[in-house]
Amino acid sequence: MTDLLSALRGVVNASQPLPKLATSGQPGPANLEALKAAGTEVILDIRDPMEPRPLDEPAAVRRLGMEYVNVPVLQGALDDEMMDRTLAEIRRNAGRPTLLHCASANRVGGVLIPYLILDRGMSEEEAIEAAMKVGLRGADLLEWGLDYARRKAPPA
């Protein structure tokens, strides 16, 4: 059995920000097999199904006996409903070995910000730093995540 991060060797921006949550860009077939061997149960793909990929990811994931979930995060059309759906899946699978990925982990960083703040108790600064470590590069995604977290945070 390998660990989640080792299973993502060679994948852009592979990271493990939480013990049972790995993040990355697009994994390949060998990475999916290694993720299964590492005990991964869920692949949460936030890419648009129409984006080009090197494989039929839903079929490959299901063939390996893992759960495949797709919640598209469409840069340029970022809204609360998209964030609500993505966070619901992250929360639903909290505690299960999960890979959260997009093409480069840029979008992953954006959706992680409110999760880290609202669910994991991080400060804004800590959440931004963690998001940048996993691959966040877009200012629009950073602002989307921060704005959502600020509006959804319970009153102090």
Q: Which residues are 18's β-sheet partners?
A: 21
Give me the number of domains the chain comprises: 1
Going from the C-alpha of 20 to that of each of 5, 6, 35, 103, 156, the distances in angstroms are 10, 13, 12, 20, 30
Nearest Cα neighbor of 69 from 45, 48, 39 is 45
Q: Which residues are 43's β-sheet partners?
A: 68, 99
- The first and second tokens of residue 66, run together, are 């893992």
Q: What is the pLDDT along the chain (156 residues), one digit of tens a residue?
A: 458 999 999 999 999 999 999 999 999 999 999 999 999 999 999 999 999 998 999 999 999 999 999 999 998 899 999 999 999 999 999 999 999 999 999 999 999 999 999 999 999 999 999 999 999 999 999 999 999 999 999 887
CA angle, residues 14, 40, 152, in degrees to nearest 5 = 70
Nearest Cα neighbor of 107 from 58, 48, 46, 50 is 46
Q: Provide the whole-model pTM.
A: 0.96
Structural domain boundaries, residue 34: 4-152
**Order of all β-strands in the sheet with 67-70:** 15-18, 21-24, 98-101, 42-45, 67-70
Whichever domain contains 143, its CATH number is 3.90.190.10
What amino acid is encoded at 85 in this protein? Answer: R
Going from the C-alpha of 5 to that of each of 16, 34, 54, 75, 106, the distances in angstroms are 6, 10, 20, 26, 18
- Cα-Cα-Cα-Cα torsion 61, 67, 73, 79, nearest 10 degrees, comes to 170
